[in-house]
Structure 1
Amino acid sequence: MKLSYIILLSIAAIAYFYIQLWDDRLVTPQYLVLLFICTLYGRYKKDTNMTHIAGYIFVASSTTYIIFERGLINHVTPEENPLLQGIVIYGTQMAFSLITVCVLIFRVQLSRLISKSPQIQLTNFDGIFHWLFIYCSLIYLLAMLEHIAWTYFNMKSWTLIYDNFEGLIYISWALCSGGLLTMMICSPELKSNSQKRETS
């Protein structure tokens, strides 16, 4: 019960904070900072599982952020073709999200290739984060289909995902941030449980 209360409180607090800001120029850097802090905290606590989970999400999220912040997508999408532009934008986001899903599903195997730490094992948190990125991938897919309907089929009333896009993504970020904070809080307890299993 204690763990579930921590998770719910963390998610509710972060979701409220993100929605109050409602500006990706403010929310995205703060989300990336939290991912980076969690990665560093995992290194500090010598918790390889936490370090790798947070690190993989940080690398994927920061790469996507850099690509769009630097305007790299705009260089390959002609402004006179809004249909193609929308497909490339949402398609790129969906591709990175699906790559992250695969990385998180095979996190243990990938971590064992990178590190020889005997700590590497499945944790309770490994069953959480890939679902959040599956949800994001679905939002990107729906946004792309809605954009095609809006531009190609001239369905100008189809703007449900577009009008609520930030909020739908912030839900996932809040859940992810809440999970990361809970993982940081519970790290000593999870580590001690792991050590008990190894010695038994």
Structure 2
Amino acid sequence: MKFSQLMMLTIISLAISYIMIGNPKVTSEIYILVIALTALYGAIKKEPNILHISVLLLLINLVEYIIFAYEIININSFFDNEVLYGSLIFGIQLIISILSIFIFVLRVQISRAISHSSKIELTYFDGLFHWVFIYLSLIYVLAILENLARHLLGWHNITLIYHSFESLVYIGWAVSCALLLTMVIVTEKKHKQRRFEPS
């Protein structure tokens, strides 16, 4: 099986698994656990690029998880106002996602600011993670626009994002997990090559 086929199979499998679980809180916890395990791998193998990418992902997702799972912003008070409720939910997610784009565009600079390791470098994966957050930002923008159209303009038949929002987000998460898995596989291959190189 080719590497690209393995990555696509991983993305599809994870997306389906996340959708099948059906509980956003549990799915978030599984996603955060996968990221944490990758960070642990980066720490054990002394791979600062993997460690920093994973820790940044972990912090971003923990912030979002804590805000919504522990109701830091009390959204129950907005239930009567569907426009405000939807805009607040999707707006917070959009702000976090846009900040994440900048974080991953500047990942190498951030890594160098917090660590003086000579192994910190621009990796192939640095050019991919911010695209996951661009995709998620687009979903959040479409969700806000759809929410406004449904509740301000009375276009209640527009439910494309409303009915598939979680599945669309899970696709982004599955891509992130596939990228993390790919980073680990590529790193392991490099370690094996170094072991077998003549000294």
Identify whether the pair has TM-score above 0.5, normalized to the shorter chain.
yes
Match of residue 155 from structure 1: 155
Counterparts of 1:8 and 1:75 in 2: how far apart (Å)? 37
Structure 1 residue 13, shift from structure 2 partner: 2.4
Secondary structure in 1 aligned to 2:73?
A: helix
**Cα distance change on mapping 1:185 and 1:146 into 2, 3 Å:** same
3-state SS of 1:46 partner = coil
* In structure 2, C-alpha distance between the alignment counterparts of 1:193 and 1:89, rounded to whole Å: 47
**Per-residue deviation at 1:15?**
2.0
Amino acid at match of 1:35: I
State the distance in 1 between where 2:47 and 2:193 align.
13
Q: Does 1:44 align with 2:54?
A: no
- The offset of 1:127, in angstroms, is 1.2
Partner of 1:80: 80
How far residue 2 of structure 1 moved from its aligned partner, in angstroms, is: 4.4
Q: 1:84-113, CA deviations, whole angstroms, 9 ceiling, x for partnerless residues?
A: 121111100000011111100110011100
For residues 33 and 90 of structure 2, the distance between their equivalents in structure 1, rounded to whole angstroms, comes to 24
RMSD between aligned residues? 2.0
Deviations 1:21-68 (A, max 9, x none): 232122111001001111111001100000011110110011101001
Match of 1:177 in 2: 177
Offset at residue 167 of structure 1 (A): 0.7
Could you say what secondary structure the match of 2:101 adopts? helix
| Match of residue 186 from structure 2 | 186
Deviation at residue 75 of structure 1 after TM alignment: 5.3
Q: How does 1:52-67 map to 2 (within 5 A)?
A: 52-67=52-67
Residue matched to 1:68: 68
Q: Output aligned runs, 1:96-135, within 5 Å.
A: 96-135=96-135
User: How far does the alpha carbon of each residue in 1:175-198 deviate from its partner, in whole angstroms, 9 at most, with x for none?
Assistant: 11111111112213346889xxxx
Take 2:21 and 2:34, find their aligned partners in 1: how far apart are those partners? 16
C-alpha separation between the residues in 2 aligned to 1:102 and 1:121? 17
Q: Deviation of residue 3 (structure 1)? A: 3.2
Matched residue, 2:92: 92
In structure 1, C-alpha distance between the alignment counterparts of 2:52 and 2:93, rounded to whole Å:
22
Structure 1: 5+ residue runs without aligned partners?
A: 195-200
- Cα gap change, 1:88 to 1:77, in 2 (>3 Å): farther
Q: 1:121, 1:3 → 2: CA distance?
A: 23
Go from structure 1 to structure 2 and tell me whether the alpha carbon gap of 1:193 and 1:85 turns closer, same or farther (over 3 Å shift).
farther
**What secondary structure, in the 3-state scheme, does the structure 1 residue paired with 2:78 have?**
coil
The aligned length equals: 194
